[in-house]
Chain A
Amino acid sequence: MFSWLITQILGNLPTWLWPALAGAAGAVYFLAHLISNFPNLKAYAFFIKPVSFAVIIFSVFMYGGAGVTAILQAQLKEQEGKIAVAQQASKDTNKAVKTKIIHDTKVIHDTRVVIQKEIQHDAAKMDADCKLDPLAIKDLNDAAKNPLGTSK
């Protein structure tokens, strides 16, 4: 929770803040260097110098981190954009496959209906001229049987 809060606070700070802070700390460091020449103020300079130095280091570190975060965020956004396009293409592909199967099934079914009608139309003639031997039916059924067993 605490780390999340810190991340939120740091994430919402503008990037320009860090170089500005580093510059300000550098200026303070320089001033501390100047006032160290005055004996009365030397004690303050002794305290200010390490603090401003630490602030410079911290600011530079945070500036580096902010830069990296900005690059990563841009990459992430680009990747998310690509994924959104790809997901739409994927949905379109699914839709196209469904539509094609429905269309193909209808064409195959319609052809079957036509052939069935032809068989019914010609049935009387072909049945009058030809009587099927039960062996022919047995052979036909054997050929139609799945050699790998019943499918699931």
Chain B
Amino acid sequence: MKKLIVLSLVLLLTACAGGLAPKATMTWPAVPDEVKTACPDLAQVDTSTTKLSDALDVVSANYTQYYTCKDRVDNWIDWYNNQQKIYNSVK
């Protein structure tokens, strides 16, 4: 009878080992198109002009370009950090 109990326990454990655990996985999310755009080069001043206002306009446009690009990179970093935090929470 003792042998029967031991054998039963062994069989129970065998059944445990025989089961393959199914696993649900999370896929890494797609990057929003808004942050995927590359930053263009800075604009150049027309070399034929002698007007300060023309040069100032191009410089101002370049500042705008810089801040647009900076915002995109900052948002990209935020997006990545947040998504990594979410992804690691279900690992």
User: Is A140 located at the chain interface by the 8 A CB criterion?
Assistant: yes
- Docked complex Cα distance between A69 and B53 (Å): 76
Give the interface size class of chain B: 35 or more
- A residues adjacent to B (C-beta < 8 A): 53, 56-57, 60-65, 67-69, 72, 75-76, 79-80, 82-83, 86-87, 89-91, 93-94, 97-98, 100-102, 104-105, 108-109, 111-112, 115-116, 119-120, 122-123, 126-127, 130-134, 136-138, 140-141, 144-146, 150-152
Instruction: Rank and list the top 6 A-B pairs by shortest CB-CB distance, nearest first.
Output: A64-B15, A64-B12, A123-B53, A65-B15, A144-B42, A68-B19
Q: A86 touching B87 by the CB < 8 A rule?
A: yes
CA distance A108 to B83 in the complex (A): 26
Shortest B68–chain A CB gap in Å is: 5
Residues of A within 8 A of B26 (CB): 83, 86-87
Pair count A-B, CB < 8 A? 162
> Is A151 in contact with B16, judged by CB distance below 8 angstroms?
no
Q: Which residue of A lies closest to B9 (CB)?
A: A60
Measured CB to CB, the residues of B under 8 A from A are 4, 7-8, 11-16, 18-19, 21-26, 29-30, 32, 34-35, 38-47, 49-53, 55-62, 64, 67-68, 71-72, 75, 78-79, 82-83, 86-87, 89-90
Residues of A with C-beta under 8 A to B29: 87, 90-91, 93-94
Find B51's partner among A65, A86, A123 (CB 8 Å cutoff). A123
Tell me the smallest distance from the CB of A88 to a CB of chain B, in Å: 10
Instruction: Determine whether the beta carbon of B55 is less than 8 Å from that of A132.
Output: yes
- Would you call B41 and A146 a contact (CB within 8 A)? yes
Contact of A151 among B38, B52, B55 (CB under 8 A): B38
Residues of A within 8 A of B75 (CB): 97, 100-101, 104
